[in-house]
Amino acid sequence: MNTLERFQPIHTFLFDVDGVLTNSELIILEDGSLIRKMNVRDGYALKRAVAQDYRIGIITGGSSTGVTSRLRQLGIEDIYTGVENKKEAYEDFLQKHQIDEETILYMGDDVPDYEVMRRVGLPTCPRNAAPEILEISQYVSPIEGGYGCVRDVIEKVLRIHGKWMDEHSD
């Protein structure tokens, strides 16, 4: 199976946040609060996928009201934050939606993502992921985390399904 064929059965996307939707860097303010930076092109692709009825979920160890707010603005409802065991959150997501694991693309970048990535139909990662994650990924985006790797995988799926350019959005 070539790389693009692996994207054909995908109808659900799961993403980590830090290192995938962000560039892995945190800015720590004097009051101890953390600031993350997200890519607007990733945001466009997420919003587009939601509008095209793809299911999107977020499973992250981090907790940020700003990140959660941004993701909700994009139409994402399944957001698991402050997760210590991503496998448990994944099990909850599967049970809630009764999804075939073969139709799930998961993008992670570090060891906490490993167990979930071993179960999904298409494990993916940004090019700067940890070695263990690079090793098990069936697709490695040529783009680093926080700089458009999420758009890369979403756009591939939507293009294969003929849903990327079929409607122009604002």
Prediction pTM value: 0.93
Query: What does DSSP assign to residue 29?
Result: P
Give φ, ψ of 140 to 5 degrees. Answer: -110, 115
Maximum Cα–Cα distance across the chain: 51
Domains of the chain from N-terminus onward:
4-160 (3.40.50.1000)
Judge contact between 132 and 25, C-beta under 8 A: no
Query: How far apart, in whole angstroms, are the C-alpha atoms of residue 117 and residue 106?
Result: 6
What per-residue confidence (pLDDT) applies to 170?
45
Residue segments in the chain with a per-residue pLDDT below the cut of 50: 169-170
